[in-house]
Structure 1
Amino acid sequence: MNRVYEFMSGDHRRLDALLAEARALCGSGNAQDAASKFEAFRQGLLRHIGWEEYILFGMVYEELKDRDVLIIDELKLQHARIREDLEAIGAAPCNKASETLMNDLAAVLDAHDRMEEEGFYPWLDESLDESKIDAAMAAIKKSIEPRP
């Protein structure tokens, strides 16, 4: 089964749509709605990163004990860059500097999502015990609040 892949990649699509809407609203001059949409994107993305870092990565570390997991190291570095971009954009996504940062963020997320969807998520679904995946998915779903 591809439960981790399906759920997490589905959330990527939802987040991509929120970012695209925020960017389109900026382009049409609707800064207030763009800021609201960007905030929904920011909160959703930080929650998604939390699922990965605190639930999925933890499950992998528990499974593999002390072995290095290079893909997780790379994903964590990318998460740090994503957080920096989110903070720099802040509550003003429609100014010129933020527009450049949002373009950069979209490119970073595209590469990041591919790494997860083509490598990390399928590996989890194929390699880990079904009971561990059950526990991870239950923890993720338990943390979900109504989505914007």
Structure 2
Amino acid sequence: MGTICDYLVHDHQRCDELFAHVETNVALKEWRRAEENFRLFSGALDRHIWMEEGILFPTFEKTIRGSGMPLGMLRVEHQRIRAIVNRICDALCRSDPVDFMLHTETFALLMQQHSVKEEDMLYPLLDRILGSHTTEIVCAMREKVESTIQ
């Protein structure tokens, strides 16, 4: 089964790979294909954020008092991520390589900083604190992914 950290780090990598396909498509000026791959990426990212905000964060908040502030900051970052993803989508719809690159650079920076916080601090902490609930948490996250893909 692995840990919560293992599962979510793997999901980060999956989202990164999906976005890399979009970047490749844009570089090749394959705009329609870029839009198709972007939909796959965007759906995966939405599911990832939902797993954190819908399953992981509430479980953590129930377990640890005072955890709302750091998680609140991550939720704000999720809003920023969604906003920049919307700008990337707009650039794709307009087949605008300049806007795409500008927003992609911002997105990459934001995701790098966000992922470090989660992968190096939050996820390992969650594994330590919620370790006895790992199986049910990872199963709930998998069920969410499977139910939205079908």
TM-score by length of 1: 0.89
Q: Note the alpha carbon deviations across 1:31-87, whole angstroms, 9 max, x for none.
A: 11111111111110011000000100000111024x244321221111010011122
* Distance in 1, Cα, partners of 2:2 & 2:71: 19
The answer to which structure has the higher helix fraction is 2
Q: Secondary structure at the match of 1:90?
A: helix
Structure 1 unpaired stretches of 5+: none
Q: Which residue of 2 aligns with 1:76?
A: 75
Q: Which residue of 2 aligns with 1:141?
A: 142
* Distance in 2, Cα, partners of 1:129 & 1:122: 10
Give yes or no for the alignment of 1:19 onto 2:24.
Answer: no
Give yes or no for the alignment of 1:112 onto 2:114.
Answer: yes
* Distance in 2, Cα, partners of 1:91 & 1:44: 18
Worse overlay, 2-11 or 53-62: 2-11
Q: Secondary structure at the match of 1:144?
A: helix
Question: Contact 1:25–1:34 at 8 Å: present in 2 too?
Answer: yes
Q: Secondary structure at the match of 1:143?
A: helix
Q: Secondary structure at the match of 1:85?
A: helix
* Distance in 1, Cα, partners of 2:118 & 2:72: 12
Structure 2 unpaired stretches of 5+: none
* Distance in 1, Cα, partners of 2:43 & 2:101: 19
Question: Would you identify which runs of 4 or more consecutive aligned residues in structure 1 move more than 3 Å?
Answer: none
Question: Contact 1:25–1:33 at 8 Å: present in 2 too?
Answer: yes
Mapping for residues 17-56 of structure 1, pairs under 5 Å: 17-56=17-56
* Paired residue total: 145
Q: Which residue of 1 aligns with 2:62?
A: 62
CA-atom RMSD, angstroms? 1.9
